[in-house]
Amino acid sequence: LSKLATALGSTPEAVTQRLNELAKLGYLVESDPHQGCRLVRTPNALHADDLYARIGKVQTIGRDIRVFSETTSTNDVAERLATDGVEEGVVVFAESQTRGRGRLGRTWVSTPRTGLWFSILLRPRLTPQAVTRLTIGAATSLARAIEKQLGIAPEIKWPNDLLLNGKKIVGILTEMNAELDSVRHVILGVGINVNQTGNDFPDDLKPIATSLRLHTGGEIDRPALAAAALRELDTDYGKILNGEFASVSEEWAERCATVGQSVSIRMGDRLITGRCESLDPDGALLVRTEHGHLERVTGGDVTVLKE
């Protein structure tokens, strides 16, 4: 303890006091006069300082992290930061959301402290049309982060879901603030079901949703997964800004379950039926219709048709 205090330019009493504060947060440090200090337990809770330490060096995403115990929707908080002029890359986490949302005003069920609910503020130099690249990039990064961290590879379902055995574990909500030909900012909202058990999902979600814990059978370290997700998101964001979307798109296609399938896609009043071919350079899905036309689809709800 005295060595630690010297290294920190502090006193043993002050270090003990800080360790006691950390213990209240769930970080248990054992100190032994002969063996020294050892971190024996970290809490399964999110703290900005802990996340900075775990992420290491990032270019943009995760260089500023804010953790709230409760918000309406983290996208709302990030939107406010955007209006306040905060720099891009800030990430807003909430341990619980009272009004988590999906696309088109749907509800996102965010059971407290079980998942990772977060939003990222981005200010990319992209045309509004190319913002779809960010959703594609995020799905790819998150699938890779889960695979690296847990050794299971979720499938991507175009445009914004990750699935395990056909059930949803991740949803992405991309909200854009743009003028006719330039983007002001984008809020990328991510929901990852991590430690829910069966009863945490309402009945209507039980057939369509799952969590990483339900899939792997064990409790998952949320801060470690959060850090891995931010690292991968930062890498792919860098690639997209550097004109390397093609490499992201290639990995996306390998991880995507929808490519090559016959689907019907509902976009508002329109229903498009055809075969998913690939992504165009902006990240839109190219669908070959029954009539042989190639349709460019940027959003909608997909149903895979049995052949």
- For ligand BT5, the closer CB: 101 or 239: 101
Check if the beta carbon of residue 28 is closer than 8 Å to that of residue 41: yes
Strand 285-289 and strand 183-193: the pairing is unpaired
User: In this structure, what is the dihedral angle of CA atoms 15, 17, 18, 24, given to the nearest 10 degrees?
Assistant: 150
CA–CA distance, 221 with 294 (Å, rounded to integer):
44
User: What is the pattern of x (binds ligand BT5, CB under 6 A) and - over residues 40-59?
Assistant: --------------------
- To ligand BT5, the closest distance from the beta carbon of 137 in angstroms equals 16
Which 81-140 positions form the footprint of ligand BT5 (CB under 6 A)?
97, 100-103, 106-110, 117-119
- For ligand BT5, the closer CB: 29 or 114: 114
135, two tokens? 């959703």
Interacting residue with ligand BT5 among 132, 135, 149, 160 (CB under 6 A): 160
- 158 CA to centre of own chain: 15
- For ligand BT5, the closer CB: 29 or 186: 186
Residues in binding contact with ligand BT5, number by CB under 6 A: 28
Residue with smallest beta-carbon separation from ligand BT5: 171
Residue 205 found at the interface with ligand BT5 (CB under 6 A):
yes
- To ligand BT5, the closest distance from the beta carbon of 53 in angstroms equals 23
Residue 74 found at the interface with ligand BT5 (CB under 6 A):
yes
Interacting residue with ligand BT5 among 65, 156, 164, 173 (CB under 6 A): 173
The residue count of the chain comes to 307
Burial pattern 135-165, b for ≥16 Cβ within 10 A else e, equals: bbbbbbbbbbbbeebbeeebbbbbbbbbbbe
- For ligand BT5, the closer CB: 161 or 295: 161
- To ligand BT5, the closest distance from the beta carbon of 183 in angstroms equals 19
| Number of helical (H) and strand (E) elements in the chain, helices listed first | 8, 14
Check if the beta carbon of residue 304 is closer than 8 Å to that of residue 298: no
Interacting residue with ligand BT5 among 60, 73, 141, 195 (CB under 6 A): 73
- Beta strand ranges found along 167-239 (DSSP E): 167-178, 183-193
Which residues in this chain contact ligand BT5 in the complex, by CB under 6 A?
Answer: 73-75, 97, 100-103, 106-110, 117-119, 160-161, 168, 171-173, 189-191, 193, 205, 209
